[in-house]
Amino acid sequence: MERQPTIKDIAAELGISISTVSRALRNQPDVNPETRKMVTDLASQMDYQPNKVALSLLNRQTNTIGVITPNLDYVLATMVKGIDEVALEAGYTVMVCQSDESFGREIVNTKRLLESLVDGFIVSVSSETKVFEHIKNIQKKKMPLVLFDRFIEGMTVPSIRLDNALGGRLATQHLIDEGYQRIAILAGPENLVISNNRMEGYLETLKANGIRANKQMIIHCDFNQQYAYEATKELLSMRTRPDAIFTISDRMAIGAMLAIKEKGLNMPHDIGLVGFNNEPVTNLVTPRISSIEMFAFDMGKAAAKMFIEMAHGHEHTNDQQKVFKPKLVVRESSKRT
């Protein structure tokens, strides 16, 4: 492979010192204009590329954002696309690491990104993460830090998030308005804040409509189609089965739909179904699945904008939050009227 030219090569070709070449390329005022032009012209002819690692060590800035995400499912991948679009326009590069919902991998990813000299972090914590010393360590280093999608209760960190409780209320109220009374929920992991917020919205809405919550109709499981399929089979085997199911993700809604169809039930007449995230698949199956739209791309863009403002010294308090409002998208799986 052909070796990349260096400032040493330029200096040797022109018969001047390496330090003069370096100052000329950095447009320093103490370099003769004719010398500067000779240096820049030759650098262009030789296709010289500056050593970004060396420059980053000199300037203590790499214009790189470290992004840590639990996975790259549709929602989070869409958020990362939003982050990348804004970052690219602002001259930043995005380095993405997946924790795969593992606390251990999240710690390793944080360490490796710090070693890569990222300027700061945009993070969505894993479902396993219950200790946040690595997040506090980033704050202690005075690095820009933004949480997205999932936030940390009890910690003041700038964040971009969805009003998940409102999403739970919208889904549940819609099912009640369509005449459903025995509404089950497939909730996520019990320690995950966004799951609990969506379930809180569900419980609040049942109570507001005079419907008593049934603990047997609340099932916690991972954001997984197979788990949701098994959980729905369990719900449908009850003596008094639910007449509607609210799942807190669309992957879970697909699993629930498979179990409902296997049971021979008709949606929406025998049973209603509402998901969460409004992923494209909800509009491709039959019947199409009602879902909560969460504007993932816009949330990613907002996270990157907040990060860049912090990186450029704009005043931000640690408790700053931007909260997006979800919207209900009604389709055939739940619409009786």
pLDDT digits (tens, 9 = 90+) for 197-237: 999 999 999 999 999 999 999 999 988 899 999 999 999 99
* Residue in 222, 214, 223 with CA at minimum distance from that of residue 241: 214
pLDDT at residue 116, rounded to an integer: 87
Closest CA relative to residue 117, chosen from 135, 143, 140: 143
Instruction: Read off the CATH number of the domain in which 45 is found.
Output: 1.10.260.40
Question: Between the CA atoms of 39, 41, 42 and 43, what dihedral angle is there, to the nearest 10 degrees?
Answer: 80
Q: Are residues 316 and 238 in the same domain?
A: no
Residue-averaged pLDDT of the chain: 92
What SS3 class is residue 328? Answer: strand
What is the per-residue pLDDT for 73?
Answer: 93
- The answer to whether position 168 is within a domain reads yes
What percentage of the chain has pLDDT greater than the value 90? 72
Name the nearest CA neighbour of 245 among 177, 237, 236, 287.
236
Q: For 323, phi and psi rounded to 5 degrees? A: -110, 120
DSSP per-residue string spanning 3-64: PPP-HHHHHHHHT--HHHHHHHHTT-TTS-HHHHHHHHHHHHHTT----HHHHHHHHT---E
The residue with tokens 């690595």 is: 134
Lowest mean pLDDT among 3-17, 157-171, 259-273: 3-17
Tell me: the pLDDT tens digits for 261-319?
999 999 999 999 999 999 999 999 999 999 999 999 999 999 999 999 998 876 666 66
Instruction: Say if 332 falls within a structural domain.
Output: no
Angle 100-325-228 (CA atoms, 0-180°, nearest 5)? 40
Same domain, 32 and 137: no
Model's pTM, two decimal places? 0.81
What is the structure's pLDDT at 316? Answer: 60
| Same domain as 113, residue 19 | no
Strand extents, DSSP E, the chain:
64-69, 93-98, 120-123, 145-148, 159-162, 183-187, 218-220, 244-247, 272-274, 291-293, 321-324, 327-329
Task: Judge whether 214 lies within some domain.
Answer: yes
> ∠186-189-191 over CA atoms, to 5°?
135
Q: Is 186 helix (H, G, I), strand (E, B) or coil?
A: strand
Identify whether residues 275 and 154 lie together within a single domain: no
Confidence at 106, pLDDT banded by 50, 70, 90: very high
What range defines the domain where residue 192 resides?
164-294
Q: What is the pLDDT of residues 23-55, one digit of tens each?
A: 888 788 888 888 989 988 998 888 877 665 555
Quick one: DSSP state of residue 68?
E
Q: Which residue has the higher pLDDT, 320 or 285?
A: 285
> Hey, which residues does 321 pair with through a beta bridge?
159
Residues 33 and 120 in one domain: no
Interatomic CA distance for residues 93 and 84, integer angstroms: 8
What pLDDT does 55 receive?
A: 53
Question: Which pLDDT score, from 0 to 100, does residue 1 have?
Answer: 46
Does 266 fall in a domain? yes
Query: Are 114 and 178 in the same domain?
Result: no
Q: How far apart are CA 118 and CA 60, in angstroms?
A: 10
| Residue for token pair 């197979």 | 226
Q: Which residue has the tokens 């931000």?
A: 316
Which residue is it, tokens 């950095």?
26
For residue 282, what is the domain's CATH number?
A: 3.40.50.2300
Q: Is 131 part of a structural domain of the chain?
A: yes
